[in-house]
Amino acid sequence: MKLLDELVDIYLQGPQAEMMSVLDTRTGDILLDAPESLTGEPPIDWDDEESCFLVEILTASSAEMFEVMVVFTKQQPERIAELLFTALDGRKPFRRFKDAINNVGIDQQWYDFEQLYATEKMQDWLSAVSMQENH
């Protein structure tokens, strides 16, 4: 799997309790910073001089992804948009949205939309990280 694909996966997973994914800007390696009890490995020593090459990988917030679902919904035909807006309005909007896109058969269209959004977001993030490293 190439770096951008891995970054997109991490981004879409969102924040993880007690864990964060980190990019080593020298090597392009992705590291996991978490308590040893979760990984079996010691956590990253952020006081180490090598840690200046490590950058926390951006992850999507729930609020951001809710807005992405709204943008997607606005692009749908009126009948489908009504169903999706109904799903988004109420308790457990993510679960209800997923059920609704499955029910109307546009789940692949949504996943493609979400993937494109996340890919563009992570390309911008990676460019910004690269720019910081060059200064």
The token pair that represents 110 in the structure block: 């949504």
Structure confidence at residue 85 (pLDDT): 97
Q: 105: helix, coil or strand?
A: coil
| Averaged confidence pLDDT in the chain | 92
Residue 41 Cα to chain centre, angstroms: 24
54 shares its domain with 101: no
- Write the DSSP symbol of residue 89: S
pTM as predicted: 0.88
- Note down the domain range covering 47: 3-59
45 shares its domain with 85: no
Question: Does position 131 have pLDDT exceeding 90, yes or no?
Answer: no
Give domain status of residue 105, yes or no: yes
16 shares its domain with 55: yes
Q: Give the mean pLDDT of 39-66.
A: 91
**Rounded CA gap, 99 and 31, in Å?**
34
37 shares its domain with 77: no
Q: Domain ends where: 59, 76, 100? A: 59
Question: Does position 134 have pLDDT exceeding 80, yes or no?
Answer: no
Per-residue confidence band for 135, with pLDDT thresholds at 50, 70 and 90: very low
